[in-house]
Amino acid sequence: MYIVAIGWLYVTLLIAVNEPSVVAGVISFFFYGLMPCSLLIWLGSSKARRQRRAHRESLANQRLNEDDRGDARADQ
């Protein structure tokens, strides 16, 4: 997915360089390049973010359960 994003940014950079003014070039690069590309990467990585969050939560639950068991053994 990242190679497509890099290619898209390259193409939009070349389009922006060919604009008649600097302001038009910056606007075209921002609206044709950066915004769609960042949206594509954000939407494409939502599954990975969800999996990473679930993994962190499961690790936190494991640590919490291990701490609870350790306290019970020390009291006995």
Q: What are the pLDDT digits (tens) for 22-67? A: 999 999 999 999 999 999 899 888 888 888 898 998 888 888 877 6
- Structure confidence at residue 71 as a pLDDT band (50, 70, 90): low
Rounded CA separation 9/35 (Å): 10
Query: How open is the CA angle 8-45-64, to the nearest 5 degrees?
Result: 160
12 C-beta neighbours (distance < 10 Å), count: 19
Domain boundaries, the chain: 1-44, 49-76
